[in-house]
Amino acid sequence: MSGTSLDGIDAVLVDLSQPKPIQLDTHYLSFDGALKSDLLALHLPGHNELHRAQIIGNQLARLYAAAVAPLLAQARLSIKEVRAIGCHGQTIRHCPEHGYSLQIGNAALLTELTGITVVSDFRNRDIAAGGQGAPLVPAFHDHMLRHPDIHRVIVNIGGISNLTNLPPHAAPSGFDCGPGNLLMDAWCMKHTGKPYDSNGAWAASGKVLPALLEKMLNEPFFSLPPPRSTGRDLFGMAWLQGKLEGDERTEDVQATLLELTCMTIAQSIRQYCGDAKEIYLCGGGAHNQTLFSRLAALLPDSSVQTVNVLGVDGDYLEAIAFAWLAQQTLHGKPGNLPLVTGAKHSCILGAIYRNS
């Protein structure tokens, strides 16, 4: 998995032979600054972008393969013992309103480099059926983290934040809430040179700017009913710059961005998740103590914890989800939830690049 945060690759080895997935081993491979800049540039129209996208897609495939090798070495497994790789690829455009979502990563080359069958392109089958193609992880959360009697909400705070609503004795639902870490990370890099605000310390040193927050919350996306999904196509630095007067203290902007993330998550839960008793966080944002504390304060009637207390690794949960989705594809089973994505029907997701 390499997600909207553009920080690197999460590789996880998963045993799916039991009812619940078992995480066997993990490996993380970071992106260098040049690759991150190249990927960010592809989110906007530019010179020779089709050629650049293909070249970078090949580069990503080589990096994905470079993440697989040490993962298998750590676990002392051979490629023959791996059924498949579920590879989400790197999203550079997410435009379900135009009938497509584009992930690059050259799955055919990844198959060739690793000698392992690859399942990729998970989103476009759902979009073809009228859905948003996202979020896809709620189906996995429902399989992995549902409680028979307790109303749970799983909140994934990556570049974009999304939630999965798991009411007992009722169908799951889920949708994108809004920006997770991507705007905070981009602002932090621009003004401090650091890739992220560790523990939200910089945000904690500033003050929320009410007028700026109101401008941000007036974004029409936040008023859309589910199903809904979003990405850098909307919530990029250009969006943020368009809200600024130019004389704000940088730490106050960071504090306001953190408040935006927390408020849009909390509002989503209050509006669509009713009497949820337990809220579990995963993704990079779960490590941000300032964000964690503020979210807990906004949701005083619910317990807020990380998914790690449930015995799963929140940093690799999304990567595990795409291993599970790959298995669904190979077994000819649907991987989407129409109530979540808005598709007309359930679909078998993904394209399969077989090794033999």
Strands 173-179 and 160-166: antiparallel
Tell me, yes or no, whether 184 and 248 share the same domain.
Answer: yes
In a domain, 96, yes or no: yes
Tell me, yes or no, whether 92 and 31 share the same domain.
Answer: yes
Tell me, yes or no, whether 147 and 116 share the same domain.
Answer: no
**Per-residue DSSP letters for 252-293?**
HHHHHHHHHHHHHHHHHHHHHSTT--EEEEESGGGG-HHHHH
Tell me, yes or no, whether 143 and 128 share the same domain.
Answer: no
Tell me, yes or no, whether 90 and 168 share the same domain.
Answer: no
CA distance to 38, 86, 322, 350, per residue, from 327 (Å): 32, 8, 8, 10
In a domain, 19, yes or no: yes
Model pTM?
Answer: 0.94
* Short-list 93, 66, 83, CA closest to 11: 66
* Short-list 265, 257, 259, CA closest to 302: 265
In a domain, 282, yes or no: yes
- The boundaries of the domain holding residue 166 are 137-310
In a domain, 22, yes or no: yes
In a domain, 326, yes or no: yes
Distance between CA atoms of 35 and 123, rounded to whole angstroms? 23
What is the pLDDT tens value at each position of the chain, 356 positions in all?
A: 998 888 999 999 999 999 999 999 999 999 999 999 999 999 999 999 999 999 999 999 999 999 999 999 999 999 999 999 999 999 999 999 999 999 999 999 999 999 999 999 999 999 999 999 999 999 999 999 999 999 999 999 999 999 999 999 999 999 999 999 999 999 999 999 999 999 999 999 999 999 999 999 999 999 999 999 999 999 999 999 999 999 999 999 999 999 999 999 999 999 999 899 999 999 999 999 999 999 999 999 999 999 999 999 999 999 999 999 999 999 999 999 999 999 999 999 999 999 98
In a domain, 187, yes or no: yes
338 by DSSP, 3-state: which?
helix
Instruction: State the CATH number of the domain containing residue 328.
Output: 3.30.420.40
Tell me, yes or no, whether 163 and 227 share the same domain.
Answer: yes
Tell me, yes or no, whether 220 and 296 share the same domain.
Answer: yes
In a domain, 2, yes or no: no
300 by DSSP, 3-state: which?
coil
Tell me, yes or no, whether 72 and 90 share the same domain.
Answer: yes
Tell me, yes or no, whether 196 and 293 share the same domain.
Answer: yes
CA 344 to chain centre: 23
Distance between CA atoms of 30 and 2, rounded to whole angstroms? 10
Q: How many domains is the chain built from?
A: 2
Tell me, yes or no, whether 224 and 144 share the same domain.
Answer: yes
Tell me, yes or no, whether 242 and 325 share the same domain.
Answer: no
CA distance to 1, 64, 106, 108, 115, per residue, from 68 (Å): 12, 6, 15, 15, 11
Strands annotated E in the chain: 8-15, 22-30, 85-86, 90-95, 100-104, 118-120, 152-157, 160-166, 173-179, 278-282, 303-306, 351-353
